[in-house]
């Protein structure tokens, strides 16, 4: 059925009105979308900034803390980072551990790490490779002492994580090595975990085939040994 001219005119007016309304509304919709996107980015940036500003727990260790032989996220330091978050502690964990590192190596790179991360707490887990290579334990003690002194001079708290040697290294050498962690901690008045493998160090089922590095299942036991001493530092102002 044909429409008369009046109908056509009315239709034209309606179309024109819709077009004008749409042209006025679209910029507002676009502006609202831009504002929403900006808010999302601002919130994300704020979250990232907050995380970056959180005080740092810096772990300076060897393969035990670097997660040797483990998949990503399985090491005790990774578990520590998750626990710090789940416990609501306002800290972030930075793992600066290197497989094969010694107290001499840790001492050499510590200044750079302190400058880069400005940590509130430093966990030092070094010394095992010194002894496994039959090194001079007086040098190990001196390196560890120097590291603790440097961390304290930077205004951070220290947690020393100690180790022990298997009996085939000799009783006297093993005793001297096992004692030096507590000796340095006592002299420097700092926290210490005497033995990272306390409670499972003689259970070969908890270790990889090399009988040196703990399995993934044993990582929680390392964390359980470290956590009580560390949590006290996390709570201390």
For residues 97 and 62, is the Cβ–Cβ distance under 8 A? yes
Is 213 marked active-site?
yes
Distance CA 127, CA 177 (A): 9
Q: Which residue has the higher pLDDT, 187 or 17?
A: 187
Q: Which of 62, 63, 78, 97 is catalytic?
A: 63
For residues 192 and 160, is the Cβ–Cβ distance under 8 A? yes
Q: Within the chain, how many helices (H) and strands (E) appear?
A: 8, 5
Q: What pLDDT, on the 0 to 100 scale, is given for residue 190?
A: 98
Q: Which helix (H) or strand (E) holds 158?
A: strand 157-161
Q: Which of 224, 236, 200, 229 is nearest to 79 (CA)?
A: 224
The whole-model pTM stands at 0.80
Q: Which residue has the higher pLDDT, 191 or 9?
A: 191
Q: Which of 99, 183, 213, 231 is catalytic?
A: 213
Q: What is the dihedral sign for C-alpha 99, 110, 169, 197?
A: negative
């Amino acid at each position: 059925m044909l429409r008369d001219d009046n109908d056509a005119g009315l239709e034209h007016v309606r179309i024109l009105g819709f077009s004008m309304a749409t042209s006025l509304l679209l910029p507002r919709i676009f502006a609202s979308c831009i504002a929403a996107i900006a808010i999302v980015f601002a919130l994300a940036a704020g979250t990232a900034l907050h995380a970056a500003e959180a005080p740092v727990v810096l772990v300076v260790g060897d393969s035990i803390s670097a997660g040797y032989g483990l998949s990503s996220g399985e090491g005790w330091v990774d578990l520590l980072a998750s626990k710090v978050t789940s416990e609501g502690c306002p800290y972030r964990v930075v793992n600066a551990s290197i497989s094969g590192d010694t107290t001499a190596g840790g001492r050499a790179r510590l200044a750079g790490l302190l400058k880069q991360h400005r940590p509130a707490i430093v966990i030092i887990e070094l010394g095992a490779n010194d002894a496994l290579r039959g090194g001079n334990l007086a040098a190990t003690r001196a390196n560890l002492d120097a590291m603790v002194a440097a961390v304290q001079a930077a205004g951070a708290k220290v947690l020393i994580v100690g180790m022990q040697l298997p009996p085939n290294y000799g009783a006297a050498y093993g005793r001297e090595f096992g004692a030096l962690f507590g000796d340095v901690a006592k002299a420097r008045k700092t926290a210490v975990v005497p033995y990272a493998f306390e409670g499972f160090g003689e259970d070969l089922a908890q270790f990889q085939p090399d009988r040196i590095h703990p399995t993934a299942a044993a990582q929680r036991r390392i964390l359980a040994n470290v956590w009580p001493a560390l949590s006290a530092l996390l709570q201390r102002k």
